[in-house]
Structure 1
Amino acid sequence: MKRGKRYAEAAKLVDRATLYDTADGIALAKKSAVAKFDETIEAHIRTGCDGRHADQQIRGAVVLPHGTGKVVKILVFAKGDKVAEAEAAGADFVGGEELIPRIQNEGWFDFDVVVATPDMMGVVGRLGRVLGPKGLMPNPKAGTVTMDVTKAVNDIKAGKIEYRLDKTNIIHVPIGKASFTEEKLADNFQTLIAAIVKAKPSAVKGQFLKSVTLTSTMGPGVKLNPVKFL
């Protein structure tokens, strides 16, 4: 894959053979974010889980203390007095059955997170085929299926992110923007890592964290020492 000059210059900053500590890794990820926009700093965590087994799945959510730097649009499926509650909490879109054709037939996806009250999951379930592949399906483990829509919306707006294994048993999550201070990125990263270590399935044998890599949107990967987090 051909890379641009900016990437080549940024890549020179990183020693691919070195496992950095958190502070140095974050400093390098920030320094190598040289695009003209405010790049996202992401963590990519390769685990020793085998996600094909139900007892080795990881899925949860954590509120990053300094948020992600991204403005998140929230859609809430609710009815009755929960509609007004969701609107008062600051949800961007609130509705029910009438939203199904808009999403299914018109391809409307102007939202980043979907929250639903339990009594609406029968309706939302009909959208499984379109929301599922996009990672938008509400889930109790992530706190997005709940009667407490005020807390759900407030947490997401405050910087709550969801983490889960992909098909290759890697967790990919944003921890902030390149414009964040190193201290804020470190706070967010430590909060995330603590949550993931705590979520380790008891069925996992051997090394739990195989590798931990930080990267900016357009920059090279910076490998951290995974042993430091266990």
Structure 2
Amino acid sequence: MSKKLTKNRKKILEKISSKNKKYSLKEAISIIKEIKFVNFDASVDISVHLGIDVRSPNQMVRGTVLLPYGTGKNICVLALVPEEKELEVQKAGADFVGLKYIEKIKSGWTNVDIIVATPSVMNQLGNIGKILGPKGLMPNPQMGTVSINPEISVKEIKSGKIRFKADRYGIVHASIGRISFLHDYLLINIEEFMKIIIRNKPSASKGSYIKSIYLSSTMSCGIPLDLKSFVNK
């Protein structure tokens, strides 16, 4: 972390301390790039507070989005597939391949970010559900991680496909790039993410669906976004 703030950073921090100020997406991205506080390529994150009743199953918001410019992070993928599919998923970029990893998971190994599986092997995962479930690693058809074409799923994940799910407070958190990304790359990634969030509005949700949106980077404060950047498009 920087030990000393420059005059420009101080001015920016003072500017965004205003409680009522909301920023356009373009302004927020510029500010995020100005107030970098770490010496590594920080993650750029978005938090969207939704007007949903999280206690109602038919108002759960979850899904996937393929970010046009990826996340800037190498996602580690395990593909649990039959032997005849192993070569295909390896070529698609899977880091670990094969049903032999089921036994390894039973021993406590979960050093992956996402697990992809075919429908034919799902009945073999019952014994490890209690291990994978709490870590958010259990393959799920709704999230695109259970597929008859696992090689396509792996390729999409490696290309920047991310999963999202509203937490118990109705907030969706996601990493949508890196501080080193070009301004327009971040802009396009965020616009694509928000398009999918808006498209996933539950029919049972009443009133304002998008309550607030904040943009931040690693160890930075959140920049409140003007909702008009999205909801009026």
TM-score normalised according to structure 2 size: 0.90
Q: Is the CA contact 1:51–1:57 (under 8 Å) kept in the aligned structure 2? A: yes
Report the equivalent of 1:68: 71
**What is the CA–CA distance in structure 2 between the aligned matches of 1:127 and 1:211, rounded to whole Å?**
37
SS in 2 for 1:19: coil
In the other structure, the counterpart of 2:209 is: 208
CA deviation after TM superposition for structure 1 residue 122, in Å: 1.6
For the residues of structure 2 that align with 1:118 and 1:129, how far apart are their CA atoms? 19
Counterpart in the other structure of 1:109: 110
Where does residue 118 of structure 1 map in the other structure? 119
- Runs of 5+ unmatched residues, structure 1: none
Gaps spanning 5+ residues in structure 2: where? Answer: none
Farther off after superposition, 26-35 or 210-219: 26-35
Query: Match of 1:42, as an amino acid?
Result: D
Any conservation in 2 of the 1:74–1:112 contact (CA below 8 Å)? yes
Aligned length, in residue pairs: 225
The 8 Å contact of residues 77 and 120 in structure 1, kept in 2 or not, is answered as yes
Which stretch of structure 1 is more off in the superposition, 84-93 or 188-197?
A: 84-93
1:110-132 residue CA offsets vs partner (Å, 9 max, x unmatched) = 21111010111122232222222
Normalised by the length of structure 1, the TM-score is 0.91
Post-superposition Cα deviations, 1:90-125, rounded to whole Å, max 9, x if no partner, equal: 2100121x32332232x3222111101011112223
Over 6 Å off, 4+ runs: none
Distance, in Å, in 1 between the alignment partners of 2:153 and 2:132 is: 19
Q: Give deviations 1:132-186, integer Å, cap 9, x for gaps.
A: 2222221111111001112101101110001111111110001100011111000
- Report whether the alignment pairs 1:40 with 2:47: no
Q: Look up the SS of the partner of 1:185 in the other structure.
A: helix
> Do the aligned partners of 1:22 and 1:224 also contact (CA within 8 Å) in 2?
yes
Structural mapping, 1:148-187, within 5 Å: 148-187=149-188
Q: Determine helix, strand or coil for the equivalent of 1:49.
A: coil
**Structure 2 Cα separation of the partners of residues 206 and 68 of structure 1:** 32
* Contact map agreement 2:76 2:113 (CA 8 A) in 1: yes
Aligned equivalent of 2:102:
100
* Partner deviation per Cα, 1:190-229 (whole Å, 9 max, x = no partner): 0000000001001000100111000101100000022432
Query: What is the CA distance between 1:35 and its match in structure 2?
Result: 0.3
Distance, in Å, in 1 between the alignment partners of 2:139 and 2:39 is 34
Q: Cα offset for 1:16?
A: 4.0
Match of 1:146 in 2: 147
> Which amino acid letter does the alignment assign opposite residue 191 of structure 2?
Q
What displacement does 1:62 show?
0.8
2:45 match: secondary structure: strand
1:50 to 50, 53, 56: 53
* Cα root mean square deviation, aligned: 1.9
- Confirm or deny that 1:14 pairs with 2:24: no
Identity in percent = 38
Within 2, Cα distance between the matches of 1:52 and 1:156?
Answer: 30
Report whether the alignment pairs 1:26 with 2:36. Answer: no
Q: For 1:195 and 1:211, locate their aligned partners in 2 and report how far apart those are by CA, in whole Å.
A: 16
Q: Please give the secondary structure, in 1, of the residue aligned with 2:72.
A: coil
**Aligned residue in 2 for 1:189:** 190
Asked if 2 retains the 8 angstrom alpha-carbon contact of 1:21 and 1:225, the reply is: yes
